[in-house]
Amino acid sequence: MNVKKNTILVVDTDPQTQKMLSLILDTPVFKVVGCATGKQALQFCVCSKPDLVLLALDLPDMEGKQIIADIRSWSQTPIIVLSENAEDENVITALNMGADDYVVKPFNVDVLYARINASLRKSAVHETGEPELQNGPLRMDLVRHEVFLHDQLLAFTPKEYNLLRYFIVHRGKMLTHRQILKEVWGPAHSNDTQYLRVFIRQLREKIETDPAAPEMITTEAGIGYRMEIVKAE
């Protein structure tokens, strides 16, 4: 079964840099996607919402600072600048415009990992207030994308993870079918209620003591679902 990985978008025109980063970041917790233009980067960010962007500033179609400004106009996705020179004034401008950090080529692998993990943790805390969320025996590590039930690691597909994450972030709140589908699958799927029912059933089979009589994810007939707040054991 596939597990949820942190998707890292590498935006760089240099094929060698793309290849090297793909090799360096080829780990169980990262998925690397590459593109070579600013337009492609923005399209991917809108459609696929990567967890982090590694961005070179010298692109053929757009200035790096414009890409940062466009992303920051609607998203707080972590952005780490890829630079040839730590003293490059463009790096300072990028940081002032909203980039989170920078790394210098050639990359020190330990530094690269440290800065990626720090940015991912900062992003998780920024969105939810904490890098981990818990509801009774259920715990989600939002940085490593891991789910534990009674301290036992569970396997989730990426879409199951995203759905469960949406529920636990909004635990205690009534969520309509349309809200859930729009936020987890996108506006084009806002009427796919049968599709949602299938995934709700899959979640219940993994986290409920009795999936046929759910206590954690409950149904509001004709309206939607609610993740009940469960007391810590």
Banded pLDDT at 3 (limits 50, 70, 90): low
Residue 232 lies inside a defined structural domain of this protein:
no
Q: Is the pLDDT of residue 86 over 70?
A: no
Q: Within this chain, do residues 95 and 167 fall inside the same structural domain, yes or no?
A: no
Q: Within this chain, do residues 79 and 153 fall inside the same structural domain, yes or no?
A: no
Q: Within this chain, do residues 77 and 63 fall inside the same structural domain, yes or no?
A: yes
Q: Within this chain, do residues 149 and 97 fall inside the same structural domain, yes or no?
A: no
Residue 1 lies inside a defined structural domain of this protein:
no
Distance, in Å, from the CA atom of 187 to the CA atom of 178, rounded to the nearest integer, reads 9
Domains identified in the chain, total number: 2
Q: Is the pLDDT of residue 118 over 80?
A: yes
Q: What is the pTM of this model?
A: 0.66
CATH of the domain at 197: 1.10.10.10
- Rounded to whole angstroms, what are the CA distances from 197 to 153, 167, 219? 24, 14, 10
Instruction: Tell me which residue has tokens 């993870």.
Output: 161
Bridge partners of 73?
none
Residues in the chain: 233
Residue 84 lies inside a defined structural domain of this protein:
yes
Q: Within this chain, do residues 92 and 24 fall inside the same structural domain, yes or no?
A: yes
Residue 179 lies inside a defined structural domain of this protein:
yes
Q: Within this chain, do residues 17 and 112 fall inside the same structural domain, yes or no?
A: yes
Higher pLDDT, 159 or 231: 159
Mean pLDDT for the stretch of residues 146-172: 91
Closest CA to 59 of 79, 37, 91: 37
Q: Which residues of 20-44 are buried (b: 16+ CB within 10 A; e: fewer)?
A: bbeeebeeebbbbebbbebeebbeb
Look at residues 113, 128, 143 and tell me which one is the last residue of a structural domain: 128
Which SS3 state, helix, strand or coil, does residue 102 take?
strand
Lay out the sheet containing 132-135: strands in order across: 132-135, 138-141, 146-149, 152-154
Residue 197 lies inside a defined structural domain of this protein:
yes
- pLDDT tens by residue, 212-223: 999 999 998 878
* Element holding 39 (H helix, E strand): helix 38-48
Domain that holds residue 59: 6-128
The pLDDT assigned to 8 comes to: 96
Q: Is the pLDDT of residue 1 over 60?
A: no
Residue 109 lies inside a defined structural domain of this protein:
yes
Gap between the terminal Cα atoms of the chain = 29
Look at residues 96, 128, 160 and tell me which one is the last residue of a structural domain: 128
Look at residues 128, 151, 186 and tell me which one is the last residue of a structural domain: 128
Q: Is the pLDDT of residue 89 over 60?
A: yes
CATH of the domain at 97: 3.40.50.2300
- pLDDT tens by residue, 11-27: 999 999 999 999 999 88
The pLDDT assigned to 56 comes to: 95
Q: Is the pLDDT of residue 148 over 90?
A: yes
The pLDDT assigned to 2 comes to: 58
- pLDDT tens by residue, 37-79: 999 999 999 888 899 999 999 999 999 889 999 999 888 899 9
